RNA sequence: AGGCCCGUAGCUCAGUUGGUUAGAGCGCUACGUUGACAUCGUAGAGGUCAGCGGUUCGAAUCCGCUCGGGCCUACCA
């Protein structure tokens, strides 16, 4: 076995072998219980980031764990067509060739995008392979696959027939840069430093020097589309204007005054100019009062013809300057103030959103939202951490219709066809053009399909069942829906999770998954969000190359604490790579020392010595704890237990404890049967316990364990996941061994404290209060001598002048052999004396505090008996320790 | 404006339904190559658990307020 630990030497070898063995492929139907996770499909042309690595780690960990437990465990992979993102990429590529998509035409453009997809889509699989993902690639899906398109059409048609999808003209969030409408979720509100312009509007019929009113606005260019001025009905200042009208400066349009309680009396002057077609508030208000609207800004963000000849064609921001200049020269600009406010920006392209009126498809999700609220309330769907419940509640309770059409080319084209009959334009929603034609009673050729595509999230919302064959009733769907678990970052809770829940409930009548594990966002070592512009992005592929996939996986799983963002620093990954090295070398040691011994499928602890019984008991305990943590999705804690068990218990102690027995001729007086078998068996189970987190390393090492075939003939991936072994549990042995280890540690510390060289000769005196512990220690005298490297051990109280202490109920006395009679008071250095004094002082205060508590009637009567008892025992021990330390000082 | 989360060792974070000497990793100090591992070992230093008040026999943990940081939602022009 190579002394060097080099993950790259075996990681991808195993990934391809597993793939060849086909062990991640799932057969249906099956006698085994089902377990299923759907991958949150990454963008098909994207590169996986560390967040993906985190989610993949968690998904793979769970899938591998369930698979080892005997589940028919499916992790279904796939990718998302990511409408806007992908289209932008291809458009950027085209721009490099000096053309735009319209030059190419829709059909050619889509063809080109498919080509792009085919080229990049393989890299997603390659990256998941690098991470050790155990997906069933035979079931891979892409959101634009034909069968997924069928699911999209089916759901669209159904929702349309149920009256939940409608087409209409509304004010929508328009992204001029993208040239499409976007949903509310795709609008990011940013705080910007702007200006508040106060503009005087003359009141109609009050003459040249007559009354003017002042309105305040942040967007003066929209005044060109004003159709009214509003005030609050209770506002005394403006009541007299009721029934009158203002005249729009620059334009001269007559603007009736309307009174509406939506208006805030306190803001600005209490008067609001109403631009129905370019502001959501104004749109709503205009609707209530039957006011007309005027579109003065077009889809490119330029002023339209209706803005007037002076402004038409100007960019909306240039128009703002020009309007302000005009108003100033006309004397209508009263004042300009600095004003901090929130402006909606297009999430994808960054420019300010332009609210404008257009005809779009909308989905009324209010009914589905109510159901989605219900399943979280009644626990059918669990959000983890639970703190998301409130956010869920708030968002779904205030949900508005979802604008699902996009003016893009890359995506699911809306299954609606139009028939132009002169004036009459009729719309037919159907599964296919043929169906639509049949319905319309015309030849298909006479129909034109709606050019728009659906919001990408519309197809993603169907992912948990469209991937399993819906709308058909397939064996996969029956076996795996509802799926068990969803892991995703919280930033797409509404974009995706909520919509899957709504559509799952609507179409499948059940939740799409039972548990949603919301991870934090991965940040850099300083806690700053990773972004390309900041240059602090860590690439999982590079991390795998440098540290190995197992180390990265262990790091990410360890950092996944509920409700927190994840600061990732490479020191930590390096630390877990060192853990891999530790496992590697522990195995190397075991293999070099076990002779003919074999891994045991099960082991009867009867007749084993204390160290063996101890490590088996600990192993059983840790298997229990890890299982419990995995059941509750506490991967961080599961990892922590595994780490400390393997490094702390197994390497630091058990391997050391095994040495005297394994080195021939040094087994001493106490019999230590079957040490090699225990060592191998513990190693086997440890590797199996670790396998879901560190699949590569554990497989590589496990394959080398003699006798592993008895556990599983081919791979650790299918070996059973270790469970509690009640027969191994030995609390009294654990207590005894804890005392042994505490004694050893204390002796080593005393050596340092006494300023003795590591090789200085010592005699040790041990006296245990508990007879059982005393017996165990005596039985393990050889071990204790080996670990403490003392000359001899005397059983009984320490002699006068010994340096002594009490740990775990055992008095430890140390006498330096070389310095003569003792290592006691006479030879004690000033430093050591000072340390002891300080220690005694601390003990005194603690004893005092403890005594006070234990004499408190309230405490004695109200605290549980167990707590009082522990308190008493601790007090007794502290007192003994004090006596012992005092004796050391010769006091 | 409402809501959520966070503030624990130099750094990054754990800390389960309150239980009395608050843990880990990294970093730091001293010593150490004894035949798995220097990607290591042994021992150690380091914390008024942001602050104040309350509930309780007992608070890092529960409640209130203050300060500091982050995030989400919202039609204040």
Q: What is the pLDDT of residue A660?
A: 87
The kind and range of the H/E element at A625 are: helix A610-631
Sort strands A513-519 and A483-489 into parallel, antiparallel or unpaired. parallel
Q: Which nucleotides of B are covered by protein (CB under 7 A)?
A: 2-6, 11-15, 19-21, 24-27, 31-32, 34-37, 39-44, 56-58, 72-77
- Number of neighbouring beta carbons within 10 Å of residue A834: 11
Distance A196 CA to B2 C1' (A): 24
Contact between residue A500 and residue A457 where contact means Cβ atoms under 8 Å apart? no
Structure token pair of residue A843: 């003990």
Q: How many Å is the maximal CA-CA distance in chain A?
A: 118
Contact between residue A63 and residue A134 where contact means Cβ atoms under 8 Å apart? yes
Residue corresponding to tokens 């609050």:
A232
Q: Give the helix ranges, DSSP H, for A632-714.
A: 635-643, 656-662, 675-690, 695-702
Which residues lie below 8 Å from residue A425, measured CB to CB, with a gap of 6+? A418, A419
Q: Torsion angle of alpha carbons A311, A312, A318, A322, nearest 10°?
A: 0
Round to whole Å and give the CA distance between A656 and A199: 85
A575 touches strand B (CB under 7 A): yes
Establish how many alpha carbons lie within 13 A of residue A212's alpha carbon, considering only the half-sphere containing its beta carbon.
Answer: 15
Out of A87-91, A525-529, A761-765, A814-818, pick the least confident: A525-529
DSSP code string of A804-816: EEEETTEEEEEEE
Round to whole Å and give the CA distance between A817 and A799: 13
pLDDT at residue A820 greater than cutoff 50: no
Q: CA A291: distance to chain centroid? A: 48
Model pLDDT for residues A759-798, shown as the tens digit of each residue:
788 899 999 989 999 999 999 998 899 899 898 999 999 8
Distance A843 CA to B48 C1' (A): 19
DSSP code string of A314-336: -BHHHHHHHHHHHHHHHT-EEEE
Round to whole Å and give the CA distance between A701 and A695: 10
Which residues lie below 8 Å from residue A852, measured CB to CB, with a gap of 6+? none
- Give the closest residue to A90 by CA, choosing from A71, A118, A68, A67: A118
Round to whole Å and give the CA distance between A297 and A284: 18
Distance A529 CA to B18 C1' (A): 36
Which residues lie below 8 Å from residue A491, measured CB to CB, with a gap of 6+? A521
Q: What is the pLDDT of residue A664?
A: 62
Q: Once rounded to an integer, what is the mean pLDDT over residues A49-75?
A: 94
- Give the closest residue to A516 by CA, choosing from A565, A557, A483: A483
Which residues lie below 8 Å from residue A376, measured CB to CB, with a gap of 6+? A382, A383, A389, A392, A393
Round to whole Å and give the CA distance between A282 and A275: 6
Quick one: which residue's CA is nearest to B15's C1'? Answer: A637
Structure token pair of residue A139: 């079931």
- Give the closest residue to A498 by CA, choosing from A403, A412, A387, A391: A391
Q: Torsion angle of alpha carbons A337, A338, A344, A346, nearest 10°?
A: 120
Strand pairing partners for A523?
A: A529, A567
pLDDT at residue A645 greater than cutoff 60: yes
CA–CA distances in Å: residue A288 to residues A272, A291, A410, A439, A700: 15, 8, 38, 37, 71
Q: Once rounded to an integer, what is the mean pLDDT over residues A632-644?
A: 90
- Give the closest residue to A264 by CA, choosing from A232, A289, A236: A232
Q: CA A460: distance to chain centroid? A: 19
Contact between residue A762 and residue A791 where contact means Cβ atoms under 8 Å apart? yes
| Residue A568 three-state SS | coil
Which residues lie below 8 Å from residue A774, measured CB to CB, with a gap of 6+? A767, A768, A795, A810
In chain A, which residues from 414 to 473 place their CB closer than 7 Å to nucleic acid strand B? none
Residue A522: band (very low, low, confident or very high) from pLDDT cuts 50, 70, 90: confident
Model pLDDT for residues A856-872, shown as the tens digit of each residue:
888 888 888 888 888 88
Which residues lie below 8 Å from residue A493, measured CB to CB, with a gap of 6+? A388, A391, A392, A395, A518
Distance A292 CA to B76 C1' (A): 22
Contact between residue A593 and residue A415 where contact means Cβ atoms under 8 Å apart? no
Percent of chain A scored above 90 by pLDDT? 47
Contact between residue A381 and residue A514 where contact means Cβ atoms under 8 Å apart? yes
Strand pairing partners for A213?
A: A201
pLDDT at residue A821 greater than cutoff 50: no
Q: Give the helix ranges, DSSP H, for A691-730.
A: 695-702
- Number of neighbouring beta carbons within 10 Å of residue A709: 12
**C1'-nearest nucleotide to the CA of A275:** B77
How many residues appear in chain A? 891
Model pLDDT for residues A658-708, shown as the tens digit of each residue:
998 887 655 455 668 899 999 999 999 999 999 999 999 999 999 999 999
Round to whole Å and give the CA distance between A884 and A882: 5
Model pLDDT for residues A414-462, shown as the tens digit of each residue:
999 998 876 678 899 999 999 999 998 889 888 999 999 999 999 999 9
Model pLDDT for residues A206-244, shown as the tens digit of each residue:
776 778 888 888 899 999 889 899 888 888 888 888 888
* Mean pLDDT, chain A, integer: 89
Structure token pair of residue A358: 């257009």
Contact between residue A372 and residue A502 where contact means Cβ atoms under 8 Å apart? yes
Quick one: which residue's CA is nearest to B5's C1'? Answer: A563
Q: What is the pLDDT of residue A822?
A: 45
The kind and range of the H/E element at A107 are: helix A106-131
pLDDT at residue A186 greater than cutoff 50: yes
Strand pairing partners for A489?
A: A519
- Give the closest residue to A626 by CA, choosing from A69, A54, A16, A152: A69
A785 touches strand B (CB under 7 A): no
Q: What is the pLDDT of residue A309?
A: 86
Q: What is the pLDDT of residue A548?
A: 94
Q: What is the pTM of this model?
A: 0.92
In chain A, which residues from 108 to 127 place their CB closer than 7 Å to nucleic acid strand B? none
Greater confidence, A674 or A537?
A674
* Positive or negative: CA dihedral A325, A327, A328, A334: negative
Structure token pair of residue A732: 């009294």
Strand pairing partners for A403?
A: A362
Distance A556 CA to B5 C1' (A): 21
Q: What is the pLDDT of residue A665?
A: 53
**C1'-nearest nucleotide to the CA of A185:** B73
Residue corresponding to tokens 């006494």:
A754
Contact between residue A614 and residue A733 where contact means Cβ atoms under 8 Å apart? yes
A646 touches strand B (CB under 7 A): no
Q: What is the pLDDT of residue A824?
A: 47
Greater confidence, A135 or A339?
A135
Sort strands A180-182 and A187-202 into parallel, antiparallel or unpaired. unpaired
Phi and psi angles of residue A205, each rounded to the nearest 5 degrees, phi first: 75, 15
A851 touches strand B (CB under 7 A): no
Round to whole Å and give the CA distance between A615 and A734: 8
A261 touches strand B (CB under 7 A): no
In chain A, which residues from 651 to 680 place their CB closer than 7 Å to nucleic acid strand B? 651-652, 655-656, 659, 663
> ipTM of the assembly?
0.94
pLDDT at residue A121 greater than cutoff 90: no
- Number of neighbouring beta carbons within 10 Å of residue A320: 19
Structure token pair of residue A150: 């069928």
Structure token pair of residue A20: 């060849």
Letter string b/e over residues A22-50, b meaning 16 or more CB atoms within 10 A of that residue's CB:
ebbebebeeebebbbbbbbbbbbbbebeb
pLDDT at residue A153 greater than cutoff 90: yes
Contact between residue A260 and residue A272 where contact means Cβ atoms under 8 Å apart? no
Which residues lie below 8 Å from residue A235, measured CB to CB, with a gap of 6+? A263, A265, A270
Structure token pair of residue A342: 């929130």
């Amino acid at each position: 076995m190579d002394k060097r630990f080099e993950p790259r030497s075996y990681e991808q070898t195993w990934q391809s072998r597993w793939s060849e063995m086909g062990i991640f492929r799932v057969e249906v139907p099956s006698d085994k219980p089902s377990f299923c996770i759907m991958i949150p499909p990454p963008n098909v042309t994207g590169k996986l980031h560390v967040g993906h690595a985190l989610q993949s780690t968690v998904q793979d960990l769970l899938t591998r764990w369930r698979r080892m437990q005997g589940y028919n465990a499916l992790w279904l992979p796939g990718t998302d067509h990511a409408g806007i993102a992908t289209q932008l990429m291809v458009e950027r590529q085209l721009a490099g060739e000096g053309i735009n998509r319209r030059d190419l035409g829709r059909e050619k453009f889509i063809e080109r995008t498919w080509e792009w997809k085919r080229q990049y889509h393989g890299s997603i699989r390659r990256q998941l392979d690098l991470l050790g993902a155990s997906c069933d690639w035979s079931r891979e899906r892409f959101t634009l696959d034909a069968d997924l398109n069928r699911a999209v059409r089916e759901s669209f048609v159904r929702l349309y027939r149920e009256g939940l999808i409608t087409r209409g003209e509304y004010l929508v969030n328009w992204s001029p840069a993208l040239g499409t409408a976007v949903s509310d979720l795709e609008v990011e509100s940013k705080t910007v430093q702007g200006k508040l312009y106060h503009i005087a509007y003359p009141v109609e019929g009050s003459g040249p020097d007559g009354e003017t009113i002042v309105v305040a606005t942040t967007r003066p260019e929209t005044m060109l589309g004003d159709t009214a001025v509003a005030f609050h009905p209770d506002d005394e200042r403006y009541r007299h204007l009721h029934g009158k009208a203002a005249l729009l400066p620059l334009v001269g349009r007559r603007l009736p005054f309307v009174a509406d309680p939506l208006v805030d009396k306190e803001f600005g002057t209490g008067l609001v100019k109403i631009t129905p077609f370019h502001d959501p508030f104004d749109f709503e208000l205009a609707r209530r009062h039957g006011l007309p609207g005027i579109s003065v800004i077009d889809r490119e963000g330029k002023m339209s013809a209706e803005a007037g000849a002076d402004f038409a064609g100007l960019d909306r921001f240039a128009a703002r300057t020009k309007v302000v200049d005009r108003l100033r020269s006309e004397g209508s600009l009263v004042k300009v103030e600095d004003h901090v406010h929130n402006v909606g920006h297009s999430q994808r392209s960054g420019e300010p959103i332009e609210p404008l009126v257009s005809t779009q498809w909308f989905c009324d999700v209010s009914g589905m939202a109510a159901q989605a609220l219900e399943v979280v309330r009644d626990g059918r769907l669990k959000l983890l951490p639970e703190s998301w419940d409130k956010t869920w509640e708030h968002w779904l309770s205030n949900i508005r219709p979802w604008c699902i059409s996009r003016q893009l080319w890359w995506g699911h084209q809306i299954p609606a066809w139009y028939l132009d009959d002169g004036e009459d334009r009729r719309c037919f929603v159907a599964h296919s053009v043929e169906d639509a034609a049949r319905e319309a009673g015309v030849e298909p050729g006479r129909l034109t399909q709606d050019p728009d595509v659906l919001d990408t999230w519309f197809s993603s919302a169907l992912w948990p069942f469209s991937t399993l064959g819906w709308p058909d009733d397939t064996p996969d769907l029956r076996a795996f829906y509802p799926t068990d678990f969803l892991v995703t970052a919280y930033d797409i809770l509404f974009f995706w999770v909520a919509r899957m829940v709504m559509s799952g409930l609507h179409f499948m009548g059940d939740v799409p998954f039972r548990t949603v594990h919301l991870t934090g966002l991965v940040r850099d070592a300083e806690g700053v969000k990773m972004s390309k512009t900041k240059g602090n992005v860590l690439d999982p592929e590079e991390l795998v190359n440098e540290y190995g996939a197992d180390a990265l996986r262990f790091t990410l799983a360890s950092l996944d604490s509920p409700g927190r963002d994840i600061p990732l620093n490479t020191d930590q990954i390096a630390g877990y790579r060192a853990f891999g090295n530790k496992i590697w070398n522990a195995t190397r040691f075991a293999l070099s020392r076990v002779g003919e011994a074999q891994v045991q499928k099960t082991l009867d602890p009867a007749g084993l010595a204390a160290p063996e019984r101890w490590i088996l008991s600990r192993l059983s305990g840790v298997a229990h704890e890890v299982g419990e943590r995995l059941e509750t999705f506490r991967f961080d804690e599961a990892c922590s237990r595994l780490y400390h068990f393997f490094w702390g218990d197994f390497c630091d102690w058990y391997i050391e404890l095994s040495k005297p027995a394994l080195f021939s001729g040094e087994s001493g007086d106490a019999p230590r049967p079957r040490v090699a078998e225990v060592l191998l068996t513990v190693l086997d189970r440890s590797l199996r316990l670790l396998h879901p987190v560190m699949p590569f390393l554990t497989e590589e090492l496990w394959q080398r364990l003699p006798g592993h075939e008895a556990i599983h003939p081919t791979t650790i991936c299918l070996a059973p996941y270790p469970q509690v072994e009640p027969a191994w549990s030995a609390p009294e042995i654990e207590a005894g061994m804890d005392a042994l280890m505490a004694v050893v540690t204390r002796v080593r510390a005393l050596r340092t404290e006494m300023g003795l060289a590591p090789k200085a000769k010592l005699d040790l005196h041990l006296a245990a209060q508990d007879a059982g512990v005393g017996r165990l220690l005596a039985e393990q005298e050889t071990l204790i001598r080996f670990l403490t490297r003392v000359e001899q051990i005397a059983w009984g109280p320490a002699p006068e002048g010994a340096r002594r202490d009490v740990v775990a109920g055992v008095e430890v006395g140390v006498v330096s052999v070389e310095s003569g009679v003792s290592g006691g008071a006479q030879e004690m250095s000033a430093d050591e004396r000072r340390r002891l004094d300080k220690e005694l002082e601390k003990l005194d205060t603690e004893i005092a505090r403890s005594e006070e508590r234990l004499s408190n009637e309230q405490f004695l009567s109200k605290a549980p008996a167990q707590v009082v008892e522990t308190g008493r025992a601790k007090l007794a021990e502290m007192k003994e320790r004090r006596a012992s330390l005092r004796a050391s000082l010769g006091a």
